[in-house]
Amino acid sequence: MRWFLFLLLVVALVPAASAENHTVIVTQADDSSSYFFDPEVLTVNIGDTVEFVWGNGSHNVAQVSDSESKTYGSGFYSGVPEVGGNWVLPAEYTMQDGTLYYVCQPHALMGMSGSIIVGTGTPPLPDIAMEFGDFPWLSYLLVFPLIGSLWILGFRNNPSAPRIIALFTTLFTLGLSIIIFVKAGSGSGFRLMEEYVWAPKLGVSLLLGVDGLSSPMVLLTGIITPLAVLFAWHEKEKPALFFALLLVMQTALFGVFITLDYFVFYIFWEVVLIPMFFLIAIWGGDNKRYASIKFIIYTFTASVVMLVGFMALYFEAGVNSFSMIEIAEANAGFNRDFQIWVFAALFIGFAVKIPSVPWHTWLPDAHVEAPTAGSILLAGVMLKMGLYGLMRAAIPVLPLGAEYFVPIMVVLAIVSILYGAALSLGQEDLKKLVAYSSVSHMGVALLGVATMTELGFAGAVFMMFAHGILSPAMFMVAGVMLHQVGTRDIPKLGGLAGYQPTTAGVFVVIFLGSLGLPGMAVFVAELAVFIAFFQSHGYWLILPIFGMVLTAGYHLWALQRSLFGPDSEQIEMNQVHEAPWYEFYPLLVIVILAAFFGIFPSYLMDPITVACYDILAFMGEV
Amino acid sequence: MDSSLLFLPELLLVASIMAIPALYIATENNKSYSICANMTLALSFLLLILFWFYPDEVSFEKNSSVYIIYSHFKLDTFSQLFKIIFVLTALTVSVLSGSYFEEDEPHQAEYYTLLLSSTLGMMLVASATDFLTLFLGIEISAFSSYAMVAFRKQDDKSTEAGAKYFLIGAFSSALTLYGISLLYALTGSITFEGMRSFFTGLNNEVVSGNFDEVIFISSLFILAGLGFKIAVVPFHAWAPDVYQGAPTPVTTLLAAGSKAMGFVALFRVFLFTMEAVSDEWKLILGIIALASMTIGNLAAITQDDIGRMLAYSSIAQAGYILIAVPALTDDAVSGAIAHTMVHAFMKGGAFVIVAGVGAAGLGYSLDSYKGLAARSQLLALSMTVCLLSLVGIPPFAGFISKFLLFYGTLQAGLSGDTWIIALVIAGVLNSALSLYYYLKVIRFMYLYDAVGSKDIEFSNAVRYISFLTVLFLAIILPLFWQSLFEICKEATVALMT
Amino acid sequence: MIDPIHFVVFSSILMLIGAYGVIRNKNAIVVLMSIEIMLTAANINFVAFSSYYHDLTGQVAVLFVTTIAAAEVAIGLAILLSLFKQRDTIELDLLNTLRW
């Protein structure tokens, strides 16, 4: 009996081990009523050969799709259909796992189609190109702002040295980030990688690298920080500490965007909070104590939940490394329930930062109380951390979890768009209006992510960049109002255009850009997201479109009430004058940038699209 | 060389304990006691460090344990590591006391003697191999600290705190002793090894019989006594009163040293001796951990005395550490060891500043921290680092150790008992909750204007210690946390085998 | 015949009496005495099982515990004495300057 079983086993194993020959009969019923391949679905192993055999009818076998069509291209097309004769089309499957679909071109619509599943049927994950740089650009990005902040603390008793040092440092890092953006290029995979081992036993290392997803964010951080420094040029209260904190924050933000290690990512993520807390708490408005505490408690609570998710990922992957790339490559082993739970934990951490309704309430408070430079960094860069994290740390690793959350993300995004826009309509404080408009705009970006398509992702990232330069501009407008007019309450303003025509002109352009005027960056992003959303969810698009109507409404209404119309009687109009250079030029720079990327979106779109394709490839969606 | 040399640090303390009373007879100079204590502790610290780095010279083996004095003391990585912590804490307290007490404060000779004997007790606990030695060590340390808490005889609060500490302490040590006697009755042995082999035998059914109830009851009794030392709910009631009432250097010793000693004893008893019967005590420890972190944090929010607030925070921290004990894996326990050590630094550092602020005459309420940043940047910075570290905000050391703790425990939870995951999540959410009351102090220091004069001299000792604390918590540990992890791992292996 | 279980029952009764005394009494001295009763309960276990197992460690433990008890009383009385000097009372209910 035992021998018999053994023999059976041998008989079963021998054919499996060697290459197998399969046959597909290509045929049609005698009355020409039906055409089919037999078997219709064929499962083969790598190395097997398949022969298509047919004797009647004029058919061909044409391959229509597969992951990389070139792989099986040769020998897989039987040419012009011929009547009669015995045709044989051999094909060998030696390359890789995958699923091929083929048809008979004349009879495809009559049901003559079939597929061959090779191996597991899903192509293996693409090898992510990892290019280690020969020059440590990325670590310089982390180190220079820190050096700058120490340098500032060395000159803390000098009234003007801190701001000059800060400007110098940030301009320098701007140069670095432009170089990095250019060097990152638009190829697939990570560039300029660096690795510094920190705790090998636990698999923690400072793994740096940029791809098309992070290089726009690095560029954005590089652009926004010098503008924030410039805008805070006349900070009188503890300037040294102020600028030092700004620079520490810049380091942490760069760190979030360029690190590829979950542990280090979390550290930078949290370090961002500390300088921001002090920026709001020390230089904020009247209600600063409440706002700063609310800000830090909200975001910290969310991110510790996220940390538990990171640890769960680390254990489940079992690769003894916190590297995002390695964990993502192991994602095939995560079962669906695990993915859903962990994605929920990560999503809470990221959604609070985005911020998505219903976790947005910290944002208006933080913005209203923060000093303008703080608001600029908060709206310009910090809000992008949430979506960036979602796309970098959550979606590629947890595709099934992400899919499960698509409906929730769509609902949250649409509610954010509508709710943010509706609340903006009702705001009287210009800064609060901009804060709620951020909720709405980031809702659009979240909508793009929720489509789970390449175009949607790309639109979302573009939105992050576009909003990242335009919403700081809006806060600068609010700051200019406060400095030069004395108030930023919209009902108290009116007729300013007559007294500060140049400044008002720039204001108008910025407001129009922010509401999505074609030719400005936001428009490109919104268009991409909406097309993607239409493709994936159809006429639900009507809801976000309605949100755009509201957006246009509150922007134009605010513009009309504050700049135009009759002169306000609540402010002394003869005291109103043009914005000073250190407030005007940052605005101008932003207008130029927004127009540039609106007219030539491909500079950004190219790398972004490639990176988004990589993400989808990790998810196994393409 | 003879390995008895390894006992030299303890012997030094014994010698000094005898020398200080002699000094008291010989001279009336109050400074001399503190100098003697400082020197003894510094020397003992140096010896421990030397033994750590040059183990071969004193036939100390890091991989296996060395038994001395008729096997009553066991020297392994675990014990040496915690001895370093104890002596370092005592050294800090001793240096701090020198600046905290007035020159003519009475009973200084007694104070320093008691400080040294308390440290000696802790060191004995770290090396104990049987319950009798463990109990003696705990009691030596406890008796000394009862007296130290109450040592300001003219201070009403100090005396009251001392009386409460003494009564509750004596009660709980009687409970522990009864638990030990029950274990002796069950196993017929009083050494950890003997009991462990009995329990292992029970587990492998070499020893027959069902002793679940007895084991459960005796572990409850022991837990009551050790829970008092580490101040976990429901044995925590003394901690806020004593931390508030005692002279602040003594509080520092209690919060940093005595608490760590409690954990050492707890680890030895539960993770080594009673590991085989972990089913009996796992759940109860889990519940205690959950209760103490939640209650500690909630109670801390409403406090307006810094000592009480830090006391409740240390109750919560004890809760965090305890979650690793039911997990029982190497990683979890080494996380617990790491957090116990780092907690000693964080809490110690915070209390040093409390002592400094108190000694400068600013008082002990939270309000006295208003505008501390304007008075001394260094003290405010150090306090901020200690507090953020206690929350577990990166990149400070508290984050690292808490990460290791949660990391190990979560790993155990994911691969075994799923209810442990709930403990980790509760711990993480509690950390977020605790941010609120720590931030209150930070806000007071930076955002409010100081009441009263700005020019206040803080003593040099406080300044140096807080500088070292910042250096250690914010730079050295975060950079070299891999070494911390490895040391703790070694200690865990030494502890659990 | 006296089984080991009788010793355990006896010591448990003593233990409970002691614990009850600690919890119920308002007078610090009586509390101190109750704690001594608890220590005695542990001692009875040690002695009884020392003879049961023919193992001397139990009796050695009793000697140590007795010493500890003496030291404990000494320290306790000293603290209570200094409390009495300040407040003229050792009623535990009156220890309320620090919030419980």
B148-158 residue pLDDT tens: 998 888 888 88
The reply to whether C59 falls in a domain is yes
> Chains A, B: CB contacts under 8 A, how many?
80
For chain C, the domain total comes to 1
Cα gap A471→A522, rounded to integer Å:
10
Cα gap B152→B162, rounded to integer Å:
10
**Of the spans A122-131, A249-258, B94-103, C87-96, which averages the highest pLDDT?**
A249-258
Mean per-residue pLDDT, B117-146: 93
The reply to whether B366 falls in a domain is yes
In angstroms, the Cα distances linking B364 to B303, B444, C92 are 12, 13, 25
CB A511 within 8 A of CB A430: no
Predicted pLDDT at A73: 42
Question: At the topology level of CATH, where does A20-118 sit?
Answer: Immunoglobulin-like (2.60.40)
- Which residue(s) pair with A99 in the sheet? A117
- The percentage of residues in chain B with a pLDDT greater than 70, rounded to a whole number, is 99
Best residue in A299, A308, A313 for a mutation probing chain B (most B CBs within 10 Å): A308
User: SS in 3 state form for chain C?
Assistant: CCCHHHHHHHHHHHHHHHHHHHHHCCEHHHHHHHHHHHHHHHHHHHHHHHHHHCCCHHHHHHHHHHHHHHHHHHHHHHHHHHHHHHHCCCEHHHCCCCCC
Task: Return the number of other C-beta atoms located less than 10 Å from residue A5's C-beta.
Answer: 9
CB contact under 8 A, A300 and B486: no
CB contact under 8 A, B414 and A297: no
The reply to whether C100 falls in a domain is no
Could you tell me which residue, A39 or B14, shows the higher pLDDT? B14
Q: pLDDT digits over B464-487, tens only? A: 999 999 998 888 988 888 888 889
pLDDT tier, C66 (very low <50, low <70, confident <90, very high otherwise) = very high
* CA-based radius of gyration for chain C: 17
CB B311 within 8 A of CB B244: yes
Question: Phi and psi of B170, rounded to 5°?
Answer: -65, -40
Cα gap B106→A412, rounded to integer Å:
68
Least Cα distance to A181 among A143, A138, A224, A142 occurs for A138
Cα gap B13→B19, rounded to integer Å:
10
Per-domain boundaries in chain A? 20-118, 130-563+572-619
Q: Does B171 touch chain A (CB under 8 A)?
A: no
- Compute the 3-state secondary structure of chain B and give helix, strand, coil in percent, each to the nearest 5: 80, 0, 20
CB A520 within 8 A of CB A513: yes
Best residue in B400, B407, B421, B480 for a mutation probing chain A (most A CBs within 10 Å): B407
For chain B, the domain total comes to 1
Task: Return the number of other C-beta atoms located less than 10 Å from residue A46's C-beta.
Answer: 15
Is the model's pLDDT at B172 over the cut of 80? yes
**Residue A192 φ/ψ region, left for φ over 0, alpha for ψ in the -120 to 50 degree band, beta for the rest:** left
In B101-155, alpha helices (H) = 108-127, 131-149
DSSP state of B457: P
3-state secondary structure of B66: strand
Both tokens assigned to A289: 């104590």
Is the model's pLDDT at B66 over the cut of 90? no
Contacts of B241 (CB under 8 A, 6+ apart): B160, B161, B164, B165, C98, C99, C100
Cα gap B350→A401, rounded to integer Å:
43
Shortest alpha-carbon distance between residue B139 and chain C (Å): 8
Could you tell me which residue, B261 or B497, shows the higher pLDDT? B261
In angstroms, the Cα distances linking A592 to A163, A181, A546, B397 are 24, 19, 29, 45
Predicted pLDDT at A72: 44
Task: Return the number of other C-beta atoms located less than 10 Å from residue A146's C-beta.
Answer: 16
Extended strands (E) in B167-207:
none
Chains B and A lie in contact, requiring 3 or more CB pairs less than 8 Å apart: yes
ipTM: 0.94
Cα gap B335→B326, rounded to integer Å:
13
> What is the extent of the structural domain holding C39?
4-94
CB contact under 8 A, B485 and A289: no
Chain A residues with beta carbon closer than 8 angstroms to that of B431: 304
Contacts of B284 (CB under 8 A, 6+ apart): B219, B220, B223
The reply to whether B138 falls in a domain is no
In B188-258, alpha helices (H) = 192-203, 212-230, 238-245, 248-252
Global pTM reads: 0.85
Q: pLDDT digits over B40-63, tens only? A: 999 999 999 998 888 877 777 776
The reply to whether B33 falls in a domain is no
Q: Which amino acid is at B291?
A: A
- The percentage of residues in chain C with a pLDDT greater than 90, rounded to a whole number, is 56
**Mean pLDDT of the residues in chain B:** 89
In A330-429, alpha helices (H) = 336-353, 362-369, 372-377, 383-389, 399-426
3-state secondary structure of A199: strand
CB contact under 8 A, A304 and B407: no
Shortest alpha-carbon distance between residue C77 and chain B (Å): 10
Is the model's pLDDT at B207 over the cut of 50? yes
CB contact under 8 A, B188 and C82: no
Chain C residues with beta carbon closer than 8 angstroms to that of B146: 75-76, 79
B242 → chain C, closest CA residue: C98
Cα gap B122→B109, rounded to integer Å:
20
Contacts of A592 (CB under 8 A, 6+ apart): none
3-state secondary structure of B78: helix
The reply to whether B69 falls in a domain is no
CB contact under 8 A, B174 and C35: yes
DSSP state of A380: I
The reply to whether C99 falls in a domain is no
CB A280 within 8 A of CB A370: yes
Mean per-residue pLDDT, B355-359: 89
Q: Which amino acid is at A354?
A: I
Shortest alpha-carbon distance between residue A311 and chain B (Å): 7
**Using N-to-C axis directions, what is the helix angle for B212-230 and B259-266, rounded to 10°?**
160
Interior/surface letters B113-152, b for 16+ CB within 10 angstroms, e for the rest:
bbbbbbbbbbbbbbbbbbbbbbbbbbbbbbbbbbbbbbbb
Tell me whether strands A62-65 and A98-103 are parallel, antiparallel or unpaired: antiparallel
The reply to whether B31 falls in a domain is no
> What is the extent of the structural domain holding B340?
284-497
User: Terminal CA-to-CA distance of chain A, rounded, Å?
Assistant: 49
Contacts of B101 (CB under 8 A, 6+ apart): B108, B111, B247
Residue that the structure tokens 């949660």 belong to: B406
Least Cα distance to B80 among B405, B484, B476, B491 occurs for B491
CB contact under 8 A, B432 and A300: yes
What residue ranges of chain A have pLDDT lower than 70? 1-19, 57, 63-99, 120-129, 621-622
Cα gap B30→B322, rounded to integer Å:
41
What element of type H or E holds B397?
helix B397-415
In angstroms, the Cα distances linking A364 to A167, A360, A370, A371, B135 are 28, 8, 10, 13, 58
Output the CA angle B427-B432-B434, nearest 5 degrees. Answer: 90
CATH of the domain at C21: 1.10.287.3510
Tell me whether strands A190-199 and A130-132 are parallel, antiparallel or unpaired: parallel
In angstroms, the Cα distances linking B446 to A291, B301, B439, B462 are 15, 19, 10, 19
The reply to whether B19 falls in a domain is no
Predicted pLDDT at A104: 76
Half-sphere exposure of A69 (CA within 13 A, CB side): 7
Cα gap A128→A209, rounded to integer Å:
12
Cα gap B488→B341, rounded to integer Å:
10
Least confident interval from A532-536, A563-567, B396-400, C25-29: A563-567
Contacts of B54 (CB under 8 A, 6+ apart): none
Is the model's pLDDT at C5 over the cut of 90? no
Best residue in A265, A277, A300 for a mutation probing chain B (most B CBs within 10 Å): A300
Is the model's pLDDT at B127 over the cut of 60? yes
Cα gap A493→A503, rounded to integer Å:
15
CB B359 within 8 A of CB B462: yes
Predicted pLDDT at C64: 93
The reply to whether B228 falls in a domain is no
Cα gap B241→B73, rounded to integer Å:
34
